[in-house]
Structure 1
């Protein structure tokens, strides 16, 4: 008799990740599909839950399967699904909302209060063999897009959404704080959307070197300036932009010094988008927003159209997401992979877990 369980990568509690067994899910909804997972990226949120047990209001209170940046192959389809078939290679959008809220009806389903999002408490994630999801949150991959690239559509969608929030357009001068995966992809999207100059800021030279493949026209290692001097950093940004202030700041670190420096650097009337998650409260120069009519926008995941846009950017070769990958692990090495990411944050850009087979 075939096994009724499957191995999963489970965050048991803060500080403890183990392999465990979960039931193989049965497909019971005619509008859903069962996907066999083939590749999963390790996200900073996964590592944050492991190290701290919470992100904002999301608190790990019981064991949770990790993983939400995934792609795979269709193993089973519901009877009402007409656009996908068994054997199709797909990327999974890892969150699906209630169908009956104002946020969903308006296209902003990322703000739905009843969002079910993989590997966000209390919802299990994708790091197991089979995963169920609604068919309309699955995207068929063209032949030229690999499983790895399909998994990386998730962070790329954040970059698409952030730039839509910013209103990035031709001629803009954009500053990106943070050259991790989300920062790199935010800058890459900004360049594709028409930004003429994109300045990346980070403290790791290797990451800034990688930014040159993701739209960077200039980089700044802020660790070589006076520590936490937001005014000096604002001056350095202006110099990199040829003596003018940036139109847009995409803040992808969540670090208070970066937030403050970004506000100081931004031009009067510019747009500041907070992408990175940091501590719950930050001390910022709030009068700058009113006195200089700066627009402050949040960025939470992605919404209608963003995932498809991300897929199109990869399929047409406009953004080389595979250059993000710095480490690869098999499913059997998944616990090791999380330990490595937690302990070598400065060395890692993106790790990918393949399988399980």
Structure 2
């Protein structure tokens, strides 16, 4: 067997490079990576060589949405065996800091997150990968390995929904129905949110959302979003407003849609200074909550998919073979308004 990775040798350029075949340490398993999704952060590194001040190191390996099959097990591993299909949670925290010990390991300052530049941690766009067994989650028989790859963005959406207090009786607005917005919508539906409104400028995204969970869709190109939200909520606004587009403009406008005593959830993590109308927020006593990745979600996400509470099967990603990873990244950028997800089939 040979192990190859797609390394980002320069901005907008990937090259296939042979790596040593990994060997499992005592607490690791070796995973044959079968699928690797392209995330927005991967695209930022590919297009710009950086995300803000986080610069990609030389010969960086991208990819943190991955799943595959265990082919080797370390001597201390008892939870997995050869042949198990697993999804890899991409963040490996230190386990020792105050955040890890309190269960908020996503906030660990020393976390090694795949395809992240601080600290430089190479990703999963490779054939074989030795990875800590603790962060490999076994997939049930009725959950495909490709669905396992999509658990990563689903976990972001589920964490966002949890941060917003999504539950039966609540009304939610999701601003931006890209991958994360769509996953947030699926999570809100599974958690019982009674009325889900989505907004976007792309009709294809809105149509898909209406088919799979949204009650109302607002095309911001030709509709007044504030007017429509108030119409759909009897003039009260929404209990939860999720900003998932990552736009400073839409994040700054969230106060217009939120109900008194409601919650604004910043999922898209727009950069730069955001001007909020704090007088209006104070008058309504609104909470503003942020989202940083996720924590303790993978087992719950797997169970939700296994039981059919969340359906990922209807998502039809654009698929590319490993040797066409360059084309996959180019396609994901050029067709970002048309395709919800792009996935690379690394090995069969």
- The match for 1:229 is none
- The match for 2:87 is 91
User: Superposition RMSD on alpha carbons, in Å?
Assistant: 1.5
**1:11-41 Cα deviation digits (max 9, x unpaired):** 223332222233322222x111111101111
11, 14, 37: which one aligns with 2:11: 14
Asked whether the equivalents of residues 200 and 208 of structure 1 are also in contact (C-alpha less than 8 Å), the reply is: yes
- The match for 2:267 is 275
- The match for 2:104 is 108
Distance, in Å, in 1 between the alignment partners of 2:219 and 2:340 is 17
- The match for 1:322 is 313
TM-score by length of 1: 0.93
1:206 aligns with 2:204: yes
1:341 aligns with 2:332: yes
- 1:219 is paired with a residue whose SS is strand
**1:140-195 Cα deviation digits (max 9, x unpaired):** 11111111101000010011111111111110000001111110110111111111
Distance, in Å, in 2 between the alignment partners of 1:291 and 1:13 is 50
Distance, in Å, in 2 between the alignment partners of 1:164 and 1:54 is 30
TM-score by length of 2: 0.95
Distance, in Å, in 2 between the alignment partners of 1:41 and 1:125 is 11
Per-residue deviation, 1:289? 2.7
- The match for 1:298 is 290
Give the total of aligned pairs.
Answer: 346
1:27 aligns with 2:19: no
Asked whether the equivalents of residues 158 and 301 of structure 1 are also in contact (C-alpha less than 8 Å), the reply is: yes
Structure 1 residues 156-171: aligned runs within 5 Å: 156-171=154-169
Asked whether the equivalents of residues 37 and 126 of structure 1 are also in contact (C-alpha less than 8 Å), the reply is: yes
Distance, in Å, in 2 between the alignment partners of 1:213 and 1:106 is 39
Unaligned 5+ runs, structure 2:
none
183, 186, 207: which one aligns with 1:185: 183
- The match for 2:67 is 71
Asked whether the equivalents of residues 181 and 244 of structure 2 are also in contact (C-alpha less than 8 Å), the reply is: yes
Per-residue deviation, 1:57? 4.1
- The match for 2:347 is 356
73, 76, 79: which one aligns with 1:80: 76
Distance, in Å, in 2 between the alignment partners of 1:326 and 1:134 is 28
Asked whether the equivalents of residues 41 and 353 of structure 1 are also in contact (C-alpha less than 8 Å), the reply is: yes
